[in-house]
Amino acid sequence: EVQLVESGGGLVQAGGSLRLSCTTSGFTFDDYAIGWFRQAPGKEREGVSCIRSSDEMTYYADSVKGRFTISSDNAKNTVYLQMNSLKPEDAAVYYCAANLDYCTTIPGSYDYWGQGTQVTVSS
């Protein structure tokens, strides 16, 4: 059974930091790219970052470049999203998802999804 489980969300003040984790199982981790998406109320799901563990190729949305860092621990089949200098506009439910072989910002391209973790940023 494929599983992606996000954790690490919570409430933080603007300017603060959070580290999200996406722990995966049930598929060959090295064959997949893991993306982080977020969705705020009334907005479309937005691609935030992505990493392809086979070569550690990464992608960041312009809105998070320089503030967020994605990394992977292949031994633990886990991807992390370190979020620094958080802004109120970063508040959303954050999802991780797995896509075979490549990173993309198109949600429909991803094969597997986690249940999401809430990030709230107070101003």
Tens digits of residue pLDDT in 60-103? 999 999 999 999 999 999 999 999 999 999 999 999 999 998 99
| Pairwise CA distance, residues 107 & 122, whole Å | 27
- Give, in degrees to the nearest 5, the angle at Cα 40 between 38 and 42: 135
Q: Residue 62 phi/psi, 5° resolution?
A: -60, -35
The tens digit of pLDDT for each residue in 37-48 reads 999 999 999 999
Taking the CA atoms of the chain, what radius of gyration do you get in angstroms? 13
